[in-house]
Chains A and B, each alone.
Chain A
């Protein structure tokens, strides 16, 4: 097993492209090290991307923020302007692992791990975030929503690395929120999760909405029927009941040791309902 620490994205991509064996890209390492320890993978080459210029930076861009792929959850949580703009995205990322893990874990790593239960991903998809991906032919942009393709699988090729994630500017009267269900209060993996991103009209009705569920299908699920239920309405009981039903209908979960399909289906709708109320309040709405 070899370890490389390139200083440019081009160098990193070159290392990956030239390696015939098993490779792993290391950012925070909070998934890669677990895989190594469990013996589920024995890479021939580990490429640590933390030394690549810009990958540890949060940079304002076009009213939003570009977040380097090696920025940790703790750094996100300490960035006041980012937290003010996208509180739901940051709270999702900050739920990963423990305080110690937060010092290492990254959003990009959480995305590239390909887990359907990834806590950072529903919020990013709800936010219409994009990822910049460096490959042999240079950089490309890709919607975060298009990156997960199945459990453990992503659209990032083996000779590519995600270098940053871009969270766009957003209109006034916007808010987002993320909730997950775990049997404990922390140190766990989502059994079901929901992210909601809302923009309100001046009259307090919902003008735009994105509702995304996690851990209830092979990839995160964008539930357009749930968004449709919200748009034009306030989150009153009837609207929320429609949203909840739409979310449960969109679930395609599995039974496993973490929860039954029935449980996930039921709880995903509940979480979407509760996240909607938080996002609505953050957008300045009042019922």
Chain B
């Protein structure tokens, strides 16, 4: 069902800015988020967290807490199952520590009590004896042979011996001979960069309600990006069979990748199992910062050679990432993405991951790519400056295109990078004059995108409306987009379709809402489910008309006779067929289950103007334009929202957001006051320019759009600030003290 095998169609519903189905619920407060669920007899849970960044747990004495009036259960890591795969065991040990605490805020024990106040009071009664160990939070220090070892024996086989035991992962990608490429260059620049760990910053803290009966059957309501992933992790950690646990996803207040794993859900289930009562846990904002996943922190070296005409002759990068206290493979994605925008004869990237005493990394939009591309695009920009070349022309000259062997191996199919660059070049923003003290920055961005496992059900209701049951929590407008694609395929109005998100007992497995996969993969599945339902409706009509099913076609929401021997019958609409369904064979529904390929990679280009206050180091973002290939924009408002949202998160990451630790590894800024996401008044209007280069892998040409927009902002802003300041900034965030120091050093 590739795009080029589809009949050309004029879209009637897809591409329209339809009303969002969750809008009224969200503005009136009717929408039920994670913390809104409650149950009769419910207890409140609270979690005791480590005050140390690294310590051995010598003993935990819960006697006094258990004895407190109103306390119904206390659990520790010993209440979880022992046998499971290593990755799930890491998730388990992150939910409640075993043996050692690995970062400031690591959960140690939990209490369920008649009220939140009693539960919190009980936490103070739990006596934990720690033997404090030396800690390390900096990735470069953690890789040194003399660094404190966070966890021993965790390195994968390809990691060379003789390094610190903190080094867990190593990878290498590329082709060609970089040394020969550098020798052919007119200018080679070699620079080192650092990026701070940042948090996804979703507004809704993690929250869940768990209820387990004495027979071991359990229900879990939680805010998540994937209820099946929650079920898989929790059933393993609790030692349950999957069928015994039903997980229902609430409305979700932002995730950005951070809600693709579990933190409190297994704890609430363990407490409920022990107490015999429903248990609710709601994280505070402080807990969200201390104990849920930030992105990796990184240290990156990039070397690029360029001819004086602007052709890149070779590029290499060494990326050192830390995903916190547990092994983390994110660096492999950074190492693959680093040079993806370029058509290179010689390219090589090396990735390393090291353990540090930081919270366990969780995915954050295009994990690993923003850091790598920030470093590469900074060096490309500096080469353009030193060779007096136009940065957009240089990118066009070197751009990856259809047929390019990518820096990470595969050969690209139809991609939109060149068209996106041309759109940026033609846009008035690129030619607008700049005043003194202002700078313009540019960066390309790339993300792989993903398809994955999907199961959907589409029912034809007897009143002619359509219900869709799908399994991916809606974090970016997917319910609207899915309804639009179903309406398009069925030939009925959008308003006739309602999409709901099912629990884990109502559908087959669905992968988490990640990899920008939902509009692509669930959309594809819904189109196929609609075609399944259409085939069934045509068969019903064929029976009514007494002709072959092949002699019935579906046009504009109705069955019509087709072919020389079909005879003449007036079209039967979906509503008419639905109304007769009980008499023609029973209810009508369409289904589709698949593991989708063909997601189609995605490119974007960001253009930004900034002004730097030379006396304070403060950066003001003046103008921002995002160009991105959406394949086909199903609901353009949501596509623009993704593009603007990525830019905004990137602005925060570039300018102010960072995890700040003291020398002992304590997190100093676990709150929105000192972890500075941008506020509305920090931001200019962000113009979003959507390009539509159809994805060959989707019947409507749809490409995922959710992750690529966070990739270019770091470099685009760094390039703009560096040009405005007249000095190259190589560390993120470019906070005012850091920029002022660079300006002062420059004199």
Bound CA–CA A126/B591 (angstroms):
73
Instruction: Specify which of A186, A188, A267 is in contact with B673 (CB 8 Å cutoff).
Output: A188
The answer to whether B737 and A263 touch across the interface, beta carbons within 8 angstroms, is: yes
* 0/1 interface trace, chain B 726-747, chain A, CB 8 Å (1 if under): 0000000001110011001000
Contacts of B660 in A (CB 8 A): 257
Q: Which of B223-245 contact A (CB under 8 A)?
A: none
Contacts of A186 in B (CB 8 A): 679, 681
Bound CA–CA A260/B741 (angstroms):
10
Instruction: Specify which of B656, B681, B736 is in contact with A181 (CB 8 Å cutoff).
Output: B736
Instruction: Specify which of A184, A259, A262, A263 is in contact with B679 (CB 8 Å cutoff).
Output: A184
Contacts of A184 in B (CB 8 A): 656, 676, 678-679, 681-682
Bound CA–CA A22/B669 (angstroms):
27
The answer to whether A183 and B735 touch across the interface, beta carbons within 8 angstroms, is: yes
The answer to whether B673 and A189 touch across the interface, beta carbons within 8 angstroms, is: yes
A153 close to B (CB within 8 Å): no
The residue of chain B having its C-beta at the shortest distance from the C-beta of A261 within the complex is B737
The residue of chain B having its C-beta at the shortest distance from the C-beta of A187 within the complex is B679
Contacts of A262 in B (CB 8 A): 737, 741
The residue of chain B having its C-beta at the shortest distance from the C-beta of A267 within the complex is B616
A266 close to B (CB within 8 Å): yes
The answer to whether A270 and B615 touch across the interface, beta carbons within 8 angstroms, is: yes
Instruction: Specify which of B615, B673, B737 is in contact with A259 (CB 8 Å cutoff).
Output: B737
With A185-B682, A257-B668 known as contacts, the answer to whether A263 contacts B736 (CB < 8 A) is yes
With A189-B673, A257-B668, A258-B674 known as contacts, the answer to whether A183 contacts B736 (CB < 8 A) is yes
B617 close to A (CB within 8 Å): yes
The distance from the CB of B460 to the nearest CB of chain A, in whole angstroms, is 48
B189 close to A (CB within 8 Å): no
B579 close to A (CB within 8 Å): no
Q: Which of B668, B674, B681, B737 has the most CB of A within 10 A?
A: B737
B125 close to A (CB within 8 Å): no
Q: Which of B704-745 contact A (CB under 8 A)?
A: 735-737, 740-741, 744
The answer to whether B676 and A188 touch across the interface, beta carbons within 8 angstroms, is: yes
The residue of chain A having its C-beta at the shortest distance from the C-beta of B736 within the complex is A183
Contacts of A187 in B (CB 8 A): 673, 679
Q: Which of B656, B660, B740, B744 has the most CB of A within 10 A?
A: B740
The answer to whether A183 and B656 touch across the interface, beta carbons within 8 angstroms, is: yes
The residue of chain B having its C-beta at the shortest distance from the C-beta of A263 within the complex is B737
Bound CA–CA A189/B270 (angstroms):
41
Q: Which of B428-486 contact A (CB under 8 A)?
A: none
Main secondary structure of the interface of B (DSSP, over half): loop
Bound CA–CA A186/B676 (angstroms):
11
The residue of chain A having its C-beta at the shortest distance from the C-beta of B675 within the complex is A257
The answer to whether B679 and A260 touch across the interface, beta carbons within 8 angstroms, is: no
The residue of chain A having its C-beta at the shortest distance from the C-beta of B620 within the complex is A185
Q: Which of B671-714 contact A (CB under 8 A)?
A: 673-674, 676, 678-679, 681-682
Q: Which of A142-192 contact B (CB under 8 A)?
A: 181, 183-189, 191
Contacts of A258 in B (CB 8 A): 674
Contacts of A260 in B (CB 8 A): 737, 741
Q: Which of A231-270 contact B (CB under 8 A)?
A: 257-260, 262-263, 266-267, 270
Bound CA–CA A187/B674 (angstroms):
10
Contacts of A263 in B (CB 8 A): 617, 736-737, 740-741
The answer to whether A270 and B616 touch across the interface, beta carbons within 8 angstroms, is: yes
The answer to whether A257 and B674 touch across the interface, beta carbons within 8 angstroms, is: yes
Q: Which of B660, B676, B678 has the most CB of A within 10 A?
A: B676
Bound CA–CA A184/B674 (angstroms):
10
B618 close to A (CB within 8 Å): yes
The distance from the CB of B667 to the nearest CB of chain A, in whole angstroms, is 10
The answer to whether A183 and B618 touch across the interface, beta carbons within 8 angstroms, is: yes
Bound CA–CA A181/B740 (angstroms):
13
Q: Which of A199-214 contact B (CB under 8 A)?
A: none
Bound CA–CA A260/B739 (angstroms):
12
Contacts of B668 in A (CB 8 A): 257
Bound CA–CA A185/B679 (angstroms):
8
With A184-B676, A187-B679, A266-B740 known as contacts, the answer to whether A257 contacts B669 (CB < 8 A) is yes
Bound CA–CA A241/B673 (angstroms):
33
* 0/1 interface trace, chain B 618-641, chain A, CB 8 Å (1 if under): 100000000000000000000000
Bound CA–CA A186/B673 (angstroms):
11
The answer to whether A266 and B744 touch across the interface, beta carbons within 8 angstroms, is: yes
The residue of chain A having its C-beta at the shortest distance from the C-beta of B739 within the complex is A263
Contacts of A270 in B (CB 8 A): 615-616
Q: Which of A183, A189, A263 has the most CB of B within 10 A?
A: A183
The residue of chain B having its C-beta at the shortest distance from the C-beta of A260 within the complex is B737
The distance from the CB of A237 to the nearest CB of chain B, in whole angstroms, is 14
Bound CA–CA A257/B669 (angstroms):
7
* 0/1 interface trace, chain A 259-287, chain B, CB 8 Å (1 if under): 11011001100100000000000000000
Contacts of B679 in A (CB 8 A): 184-187
Bound CA–CA A189/B736 (angstroms):
14
The distance from the CB of A256 to the nearest CB of chain B, in whole angstroms, is 8
Bound CA–CA A262/B741 (angstroms):
9
Contacts of B735 in A (CB 8 A): 183
Bound CA–CA A260/B737 (angstroms):
7
Interface residues in chain B, defined as those with a beta carbon under 8 Å from any beta carbon in chain A: 615-618, 655-656, 660, 668-669, 673-674, 676, 678-679, 681-682, 735-737, 740-741, 744
Other contacts beyond A183-B676, A183-B736, A184-B656: 14, CB < 8 A: A181-B616, A183-B655, A184-B682, A185-B679, A186-B679, A186-B681, A191-B736, A257-B660, A257-B669, A258-B674, A263-B741, A267-B616, A267-B736, A270-B615
Leading 10 A-B pairs by shortest Cβ distance = A263-B737, A185-B681, A270-B615, A257-B668, A257-B660, A260-B737, A185-B682, A183-B656, A187-B679, A267-B616
Would you mind naming 23 contact pairs between A and B with Cβ atoms under 8 Å apart? A181-B618, A183-B656, A184-B656, A184-B676, A184-B678, A184-B682, A185-B679, A186-B681, A187-B673, A188-B676, A191-B736, A257-B669, A257-B674, A258-B674, A259-B736, A260-B741, A262-B741, A263-B617, A263-B740, A266-B740, A267-B615, A267-B740, A270-B615
